[in-house]
Structure 1
Amino acid sequence: MSVTGGLSRRSCLLGSAAAGALTALSLPQTAWAGAQIEEPLIDSVRTALSSAIHNKAPPVPQFADTEARLAYLRWLGEMSERLRKKVADPATRIEFLQTVWYEARRSGLDVSLVLGLIQVESNFRKFAVSSAGARGYMQVMPFWTRVIGDSDSAKLFHMQTNLRFGCVILRHYLDREKGDLFMTLGRYNGSRGRAPYPNAVFANQRLWAYVDRDRSAA
């Protein structure tokens, strides 16, 4: 699945910022986390978000056919190799990527976008905490556990919980912004309307883009 919307805005911004951002990525990187801003939610939205969070389905991919499964395994192998310098343990790396893939697709998000956001937000550090108190891989603010969870903010350091909250929240913001990714990312980071954060995510997303050459050649 891929996320569309806000493409013209994104293209213009990438042209001016991508080169500098990609150069910066070769240097040691620290978390660049902001803070989602707590906003009133109408009951129907709160219920829908809470339901998405509390769905206990495990991150087990389902495939329509063997070729789809093989394509997924090729993606997994390639992404694992790219992530090796940041997450050394192979089992942890595979579990993380499987969960990102599952939670991103479950929320209708582009997996490369979610990986790019994680790199900018926490640089793949499970226990990252921002100055504003945002936690984990996707730097989720603790107030979300009160608004749509069970108020246990410690769970935001659990891999699947953090990734599920992050993807559900990002999807919520994308819907609110009517598909505009630039504004969505700014809202996620608490810097809505300002370019540096969305530009950084878009530049990092390019590092996680994937083309299945085996399928393309078929």
Structure 2
Amino acid sequence: MDQPLRELGFERSLSPWELRRSLLRQTKTARPAGRHYVKSTAPPVPKIRRIRAVTAHEPVSGTIKARRARFAPLIIAEARRQGVDPNLVHAVIRAESAYRPNAKSPAGACGLMQLMPATARRFGVRDIWDPQQNIRGGVAYLRFLLDRFDGNIRLALAGYNAGEGAVAKYGNRIPPYRETREYVRRVIGYFG
């Protein structure tokens, strides 16, 4: 049960015991002080604990390994063509979309490499949902960032996440954004 929810971007599902405990805690804290308490018939709405940035439009089938294998030839060919380490591209795709070609973030980033529409246009992507074009545009952006930051992979990844302007604004250092710092750590971990 938890694995499909994780693939859709949720941390984990609540067990029936945890859900009941959460509901009881909310009803106890909702009672006003005093003797004239009228119990509400409507159950309280449980709070959502955490939703991640990437969600899928359609149900996702297969494991990350199977999805990786499906796109590996495209990734390797494009990475070699543009002179980027294919393992770096794999690490970015795993962190961005977990190899889901139909992933879309609340911010509007789309596809395998989570390209923003403006970035996609900037690198000649006409169909952001086409995996081949999405990979081509994402790898071109990585190549641009690596060149911009003199081959510094950490700064290139920070630029991929927060934008090259944010990295430049902080003196060519990783911006002090929690999300960006965690993103760089995660991708470097996948990159090995």
**TM-score, normalised by the number of residues in structure 2:** 0.57
Q: Which position in structure 2 is the counterpart of 1:200?
A: 186
148 and 166 in structure 1: CA distance in 2 versus 1, 3 angstrom threshold: closer
Q: 2:124 maps to what in 1?
A: 149
In structure 2, the partner of 1:170 is 142
Closer/same/farther in 2, CA of residues 149 and 93 from structure 1, 3 Å limit? same
CA distance in 2, matches of 1:141, 1:134: 4
Residues 182 and 135 (structure 1 numbering): CA distance in 2 closer, same or farther, change over 3 Å? same
Match of 1:96 in 2: 71
After TM superposition, give the deviation of residue 95 of structure 1 in Å: 4.7
The aligned length equals 124
Gaps of 5+ in 1: 1-26, 34-83, 207-218
Q: 1:64-115 deviations in whole A, cap 9, x for unaligned?
A: xxxxxxxxxxxxxxxxxxxx62265xxx765511000001111111111111
Q: Which amino acid aligns with 1:136?
A: G
1:120 aligns with 2:95: yes
Question: What's the % identity of the aligned pairs?
Answer: 35
1:204 corresponds to which letter in structure 2? Y
Change (3 A) 1:32 1:204: farther
- Structure (1 or 2) with the larger CA radius of gyration: 2
Cα distance in 1, alignment partners of residues 121 and 89 from structure 2: 23
1:188 is paired with a residue of what secondary structure? helix
TM-score by length of 1: 0.51
1:132 counterpart = 2:107? yes
**Compared with structure 1, are the counterparts of its residues 205 and 143 closer, same or farther at alpha carbon in structure 2 (3 Å cutoff)?**
same
Query: Using a 3 Å threshold, how does the CA distance of structure 1 residues 97 and 110 change in structure 2: closer, same or farther?
Result: same
Mapped to 2, the partners of 1:200 and 1:93 lie a distance apart of 17
Post-superposition offset of 1:148: 3.9
Structure having the higher helix fraction is: 1
In the alignment, the residues of structure 1 paired with residue 79 and residue 53 of structure 2 have an alpha-carbon distance, to the nearest angstrom, of: 21
1:176 and 1:162 mapped to 2: Cα distance?
Answer: 21
Aligned residue among 104, 108, 132 for 2:83: 108
Contact 1:107–1:167 under 8 Å retained in 2: yes
In 2, distance between residues paired with 1:179 and 1:161? Answer: 24
Higher RCO (C-alpha 8 Å, min separation 6): 1
4+ residue stretches of structure 1 with deviation over 6 A?
none
1:86 aligns with 2:64: yes
What secondary structure, in the 3-state scheme, does the structure 1 residue paired with 2:105 have? coil
Relative distance call for 1:145 and 1:118 in structure 2 (3 A) is: closer
Contact 2:53 / 2:106 at 8 angstroms: preserved in 1? Answer: no
Residue identity matched to 1:197: Y
Aligned to 2:35: none
